[in-house]
Structure 1
Amino acid sequence: MAHRLNHDAYTVGWVCALPIELTAAQEMLDEEHGDLPPDGNDTNIYTLGSIGEHNVVIACLPAGQTGTNSAAAVALQMKSTFRAIRFALMVGIGGGVPSPGTDVRLGDVVVGQPGNGHGGVIQYDFGKSTPSGFERTGFLNTPPPILLSALTKLQARYGRAKSDPWLHILKLSKLPQFSRDQVGDDVLFDGGYNHVGGGNNCMLCDDTRKLHRKKRAVNRPEPHYGTIASGNQVMRDGAIRDQISSEFGGVMCFEMEAAGLMNSFPCLVIRGICDYADSHKNKEWQPYAAGTAAAYAKELLLVIPAVDVMKTQTVDEATRDCQTVAISGLGGIGKTQVALQFAYSVKEDYPEFSIFWVQAMSMEAFERSCMEVATVLEMRQKSDDDVKRLVRRWLCGKKAGKWLLIVDNVDSLDILRGSEQRE
């Protein structure tokens, strides 16, 4: 019978997006634990187990759902059910960005590490349209100190040949789909050359457009550390890939989930490279890349002492002060539903919280919603008072207690900034 613990025994979260990533994660467990009674408000399905000294809870996005919003929903439910979690790892596949300075190849692993003025992950499709073009806005948090310290330690050990993450791939050897022998050649075309034909292979593509790279002395994956670009669309255009990479001072990988976690969940992103984020991409390398990412994640956890994890704040404690989380994406993809689900979850878990929902599709709508809040709170308002200022002051006062404010349909941050500037 599988060993069964309680919810508070789990201190590490592991989030993945695809079934093949979930399989790789499950195989990295040293011991698998028995399931716990489900929470009626939590739609995640968890795999529980241990890696080294750490008890780990693994969750995967629902089938067919990808993107930053889906990842955020899974993470929010995880931290609500498992209150003792200190941090999470976002582990899976991504599209590599080869460059003269970074020899990223298929099967390699890219880890989101701060640098070049970025926190390790950037959301390249979040911003606003202006007369001069698309203006990217916002900033994502860096990984927590305990994970950055672990990265330093692991990099040093790897450089001294004291650590070999790829040995953990042997745990996948009984599953043929994860074998390196199951994938073909690592072929890279120049960024301006698009795929020819509708198939998954490049038999019709021009061989003269292939980029020839020096053969590695050792045929094994390599880890890379730098900026990961996250967005809600699949990147499969080499020219746009290189353009965005240049704009951000060098991006190593593109993926679709990490931006949904970074500002609401202390997190590190680990991606196995399965394609080059261009039109030649296919799924052939996905299992192997999922395996290398999972193997690296396991090795990282093994260099973190459990006593250091216990000294770290829980996710709930780290986010207890007033925090701001943005759910971004195209219209109609479910952002409001994610916020609504979170509001119900907060109210059930924390009945003492007041929940406020205001509309901000325009300054007029924002002011009307603030007026409704002021009415509910029975605020005394003079005719020349700015109702937004009154509501804000009330929320900042002790009388307000604990609250959650959801601002919906924010098409322009200028609406919120304008209120702050007048304050």
Structure 2
Amino acid sequence: MSRPETSANHTVYTQSLPLERYTVGWICALPCELTAARAMLDHRHVRPKNQSKHDENNYTLGSIAGHNIAIVCLPEYGTNNAAIAAKSMQATFPNIRFGLLVGVGGGVPGPITETGPANDIRLGDVVVSLPAGQGGGVIQYDLIRREVDGFRRVGLLNKPPTLLRTAVASLRAERRLGRQLTGLIEDAFAPDDECCEDKCDDDEESEGERWTYPSTGRDFLFSPGYKHRSSGADDCTKCMEAKSAGDIITRRPRKTTHPKIHYGNIGSGNSLIKNGLERDKLAQRDSIICFEMEAAGLMDDFPCLVIRGISDYADSHKNSSWQPYAAAAAAAYAKQLVCSITPQDIDSLAPIQAAHYAHTMTKDSLAICWVDARDRSSVELGLSCIAQCVLRSLIVHYGERVAATMFGFSDVTSLLLHGPIPPRTMQGAIRSLKSWLGKKSNSRWLIVFDNYDNIDEFNIEDYIPNADHSRILITSRRPDLQRSVDKAFDISGLDDAAALQLLLSGNRMYKADDTPTCPSVQAVLRKLCNFPLAIVQANAYINNRRLSMDDFLQQYEQQFIRPMSQKPRGPWNYDQVVNTTWEVSLSAIQAENKLAAETMFTCSLLGNTNILPEWMQICIPGIVDCKLHSLLSGFLDKHGKAASAICLKTLDIGRYLAMPAPLLLLFCSELSTCLAWSGWWAFSQILSIFTRQLLCQTQEGIIQTGHLYYSALYALSKGRLEKAEGDCRKLLLVLEKMETTEDLTGSFIKAQMLLARIMTRYKDSPKSKYGYKLACKLVRLIVSAKLYTEYPELLGQVAEYGQMLLSRGDTEGARIHYSNTIHLMMNSGAPKAMTFLWLGKYCGLLFQLGYYPEVEAYLRWMLNESLDTTRKCAILQNLSLLLTHQKKYGELELVARQLLDLERDDISNGGDDGQIIFPTVSLCTALLETKRSTEATVIANESFHLLRKNLGAQNHNIVMLEVFLRKLRKVNQKTQLI
């Protein structure tokens, strides 16, 4: 396991990733828990730049074993704080698949038997939440109901996700797991670690002493009734002095100090358990082996696994000296768990769904239920989640049996278990929900069906409860929906004052004091009908072209006639004013640079966030640099995102790009294939709607094959194997019927390889064996017949077989196969983008296996072959990391200087200023290791002043580099004194 790159008392922030790339959420509650979590990261990333405005969390970002992880520390204890932090995290990181709640807890020592304690839990051990008895892994012990014969706990929290439970089962089979955890802790908190300043501010003892095992002499288990003797002391010195016979429970000494792992129910509540008698009573009642204060707020809405290091025994005695080590042990287990899960396993999970039940259903409040209505599957998923919430609420108040009767649904267990809801269960839950909401006693509710635009695909009325008291709100961009509803409201423009403020706030050409009475400003607002989107678009165009209001009005009048006479043929008919502003902008771009217009069209299909240069290079030949930046900058917001780029779909793009519908659909199909090939599934969903619309306009076979290929790829990415297999077999039938077509042979082999990939995903099935045999046969055919000379893209299909070998666990076979395939790509004229993609994956595998010289050679080859500055910088970053790992500081200096020069040139051309930090730190690291601290200080100082000039003193990149610079100066001073 590798550690975060550190040098000279600083942490190297290796890269800045889009927020959508983070898939694991890590939550902790104490500063020492956060320190332990940071220490377990393989790489640290730059803090998020575009954090949700309602998210007050402070994040640490990084990666472990290829998984991108977002870490947050709670401001205070408690289930509510944990729930708020998790919701905020989901708002900022939309693709979080699961969570890990990692920290310290109070252990429950088992009753003493003849052979020792039943659960021999000691300080420093680790407890993992797994279902046991009647619990699902986490039990909210303070959620109880008074009954005739006393109190009874109610409610059932979700189990951890199946993927995590499977990973835990795999770790349980490890014979030396405790020894491995000790190794991780020692590696992360080695006494000679130069980055200890960043991890701990305790000057009284060294970093290694603070985070390693405190010794068995500090682990005392007192009898449940023996109370702590000094409320102000952090240890039990006075407890030991005042003890009598029987106050300390004698336990057999352990042979090792490695942490032991225990599995079972963890008790969670809003009160801290600090009483041995109460601890034992609750533990016996609910089969609890550990207590903590956050998990109950997460399990239902934030699927996660709880990992607790034991720092005390949930009694009145204090053991603060155990907290750092216990936190480190829990973090080490979390890292080991993450390392046992492959990125492909995580990608198969859907992101955590946002809450669909906005308010608790009480007597005097209105229950507001939000449902995403973009397609049938989203509606059914949303309603089934609402059904889950209603059923849980009823169980809390009435118990499971009565709740099932009241809700009219018998399969309670299947609905409430975490994970995908079976289709039959989902349909039954929806029927029960409609019936429940239709009761006259349930009148305080509102359902919002949002984004119902595909009215031809399904009928929303099928999902509306049949009740006189229904409150239904439907949002749509389809004006023909108005005929089917009781009341329809068109969204009108802003009032005059708000429209004027919006226009002035985004316009750099006019001052606020000069414009309120300016006739041309008022004329522009009247033409735009005060529509917010039209105003924003107009401002972007005016700023980019540096136009006066009069000039814009003239161009607007010229363009207005065209959209009036030729309205969009797409599924939505937007207000004419909005279309006109886009006509003005796109016409100018089309005239100046057709490639830029095609780029914007591609962005409109991909969505309006995180458009990467690599996509443009794959999808549109000829885009090799950032020359389009100045032309497109007027359509970017302050965070660099395309402003409403998706609205380009409403224009007649085919007319602008001179593309008939069949050719346009072929372009979309090829684009979707590139996206699927690159693994960016979330953005490919946008294409599916667009391609389905265009598919209705043509029946040409080649168009149909492209759509079926994409559809099968997308279904495979979501784990819908039967759908993927069906689409792929349809694709093969269509190709067989086509008499002659260009590239038929290559397309047929690609379709067969896709079928092989699908079949291998059927675990422990004859289909899986068939898939591997088919893939092997196709690889031999492509290589032996040298089909790749005529169809170079088939080498990508050959490389896919390496992924299949990896999924089977044949690492050495995959390495050999990748080596042969990469050799063919490099010597056969295969597309550079494809070669670089698979070579990157191969280098990742080689690095994991320790083939560092080979990785370095391949990186240097890519560096020589790459003409794109952005790609060169990425390669140089990877090469710097590799050289740092190998401690080749002489070569690191040369590479870091080259990267720093490129990044500084990029800043002068308007690039990302924050990217200069990595090469600065890398170069300074090399200089420090070669005893040149003065030169390192000069380099860091130059970068600091350049950043401050471009970003301002308060930017977090400035702050981070300033801290690094201060540490460099300290090192330099010490060196001079010596």
| 2:58 matched residue in structure 1 | 45
2:314 to 277, 295, 305: 277
| 2:508 matched residue in structure 1 | none
Residue 172 of structure 1, CA deviation: 2.1
| 2:152 matched residue in structure 1 | 135
Q: How does 1:102-121 map to 2 (within 5 A)?
A: 102-121=119-138
Q: How does 1:128-277 map to 2 (within 5 A)?
A: 128-130=145-147, 132-157=149-174, 159=175, 164-170=180-186, 171-173=188-190, 174=193, 175=196, 176=207, 177-181=210-214, 185-198=218-231, 199-205=233-239, 206-208=243-245, 209-248=247-286, 250-277=287-314
The answer to whether 1:86 aligns with 2:88 is no
Read off the aligned partner of 1:192 and give its amino acid letter: G
Q: 1:164 to 1:324 in 2, by over 3 A?
A: farther
Query: 1:327-386 CA distances to partner (integer Å, 9 max, x unpaired)?
Result: 9xxxxxxxxxxx9xxx9xx99xx9xx9xxxxxxxxxxxxxxxxxxxxxxxxxxxxxxx97
Contact kept in structure 2, 1:172 and 1:291, CA below 8 Å: no
Q: 1:86 to 1:127 in 2, by over 3 A?
A: same
* In structure 1, C-alpha distance between the alignment counterparts of 2:259 and 2:290, rounded to whole Å: 15
Q: How does 1:361-380 map to 2 (within 5 A)?
A: none
The answer to whether 1:8 aligns with 2:16 is no
Q: 1:207 to 1:51 in 2, by over 3 A?
A: farther
User: What SS does the aligned partner of 2:134 have?
Assistant: coil
The answer to whether 1:290 aligns with 2:334 is no
2:441 to 388, 393, 396: 388
* In structure 2, C-alpha distance between the alignment counterparts of 1:312 and 1:96, rounded to whole Å: 32
| 2:43 matched residue in structure 1 | 31
Residue 117 of structure 1, CA deviation: 1.7
Contact kept in structure 2, 1:264 and 1:325, CA below 8 Å: no
Residue 166 of structure 1, CA deviation: 2.4
Read off the aligned partner of 2:230 and give its amino acid letter: G
| 1:74 matched residue in structure 2 | 85
More moved, 193-202 vs 221-230? 193-202
User: What SS does the aligned partner of 2:308 have?
Assistant: strand
Cα RMSD, aligned residues only: 3.5
User: TM-score, normalized by length of structure 2?
Assistant: 0.34
Residue 212 of structure 1, CA deviation: 1.1
The answer to whether 1:56 aligns with 2:94 is no
| 2:338 matched residue in structure 1 | 301
* In structure 1, C-alpha distance between the alignment counterparts of 2:474 and 2:41, rounded to whole Å: 39
Read off the aligned partner of 2:27 and give its amino acid letter: V
Which protein is bigger by CA-based radius of gyration? 2
User: What SS does the aligned partner of 1:164 have?
Assistant: helix
Residue 219 of structure 1, CA deviation: 1.8
* In structure 2, C-alpha distance between the alignment counterparts of 1:326 and 1:227, rounded to whole Å: 27
* In structure 2, C-alpha distance between the alignment counterparts of 1:92 and 1:122, rounded to whole Å: 17
Query: 1:196-217 CA distances to partner (integer Å, 9 max, x unpaired)?
Result: 2333332333153111111112
**Identity over the aligned pairs, expressed in percent?**
43
Query: 1:120-159 CA distances to partner (integer Å, 9 max, x unpaired)?
Result: 00000112334543332111000000000000111112x2
Residue 225 of structure 1, CA deviation: 0.4
More moved, 205-214 vs 262-271? 205-214
* In structure 1, C-alpha distance between the alignment counterparts of 2:444 and 2:291, rounded to whole Å: 41
More moved, 69-78 vs 164-173? 164-173
* In structure 1, C-alpha distance between the alignment counterparts of 2:262 and 2:444, rounded to whole Å: 47
Contact kept in structure 2, 1:165 and 1:298, CA below 8 Å: no
* In structure 2, C-alpha distance between the alignment counterparts of 1:325 and 1:150, rounded to whole Å: 35
* In structure 2, C-alpha distance between the alignment counterparts of 1:326 and 1:167, rounded to whole Å: 47
Contact kept in structure 2, 1:183 and 1:284, CA below 8 Å: no
* In structure 1, C-alpha distance between the alignment counterparts of 2:474 and 2:18, rounded to whole Å: 28
Residue 391 of structure 1, CA deviation: 4.9
Q: 1:394 to 1:35 in 2, by over 3 A?
A: closer
Q: 1:149 to 1:5 in 2, by over 3 A?
A: same
Read off the aligned partner of 1:186 and give its amino acid letter: D
Contact kept in structure 1, 2:82 and 2:297, CA below 8 Å: yes
Residue 326 of structure 1, CA deviation: 7.5
Query: 1:257-284 CA distances to partner (integer Å, 9 max, x unpaired)?
Result: 0000000111000000000000113422
1:126 to 140, 143, 156: 143
Read off the aligned partner of 1:196 and give its amino acid letter: R
- Structure showing the higher helix proportion among its residues: 2
**Residue segments in structure 1 that go unaligned for 5+ positions in a row:** 328-338, 354-384, 404-423
User: What SS does the aligned partner of 2:238 have?
Assistant: coil
Q: 1:215 to 1:154 in 2, by over 3 A?
A: same
Residue 179 of structure 1, CA deviation: 2.7
Read off the aligned partner of 2:28 and give its amino acid letter: C
Q: 1:132 to 1:326 in 2, by over 3 A?
A: farther
* In structure 2, C-alpha distance between the alignment counterparts of 1:68 and 1:302, rounded to whole Å: 28
Read off the aligned partner of 1:136 and give its amino acid letter: R
* In structure 2, C-alpha distance between the alignment counterparts of 1:289 and 1:162, rounded to whole Å: 13
Residue 192 of structure 1, CA deviation: 2.0
- Structure showing the higher strand proportion among its residues: 1
Residue 54 of structure 1, CA deviation: 0.4
Query: 1:36-80 CA distances to partner (integer Å, 9 max, x unpaired)?
Result: 222211101111100012000001111xx2110000000011011
Residue 5 of structure 1, CA deviation: 0.3
User: What SS does the aligned partner of 2:237 have?
Assistant: coil
* In structure 2, C-alpha distance between the alignment counterparts of 1:92 and 1:29, rounded to whole Å: 15
* In structure 2, C-alpha distance between the alignment counterparts of 1:223 and 1:141, rounded to whole Å: 22
Q: 1:163 to 1:143 in 2, by over 3 A?
A: farther
Contact kept in structure 2, 1:94 and 1:254, CA below 8 Å: yes
Q: Which has the higher contact order (CA 8 A, sep 6+)?
A: 1
Contact kept in structure 2, 1:24 and 1:291, CA below 8 Å: yes
Q: When the two structures are aligned, how many residues end up with a matched partner?
A: 352
Contact kept in structure 1, 2:24 and 2:99, CA below 8 Å: yes
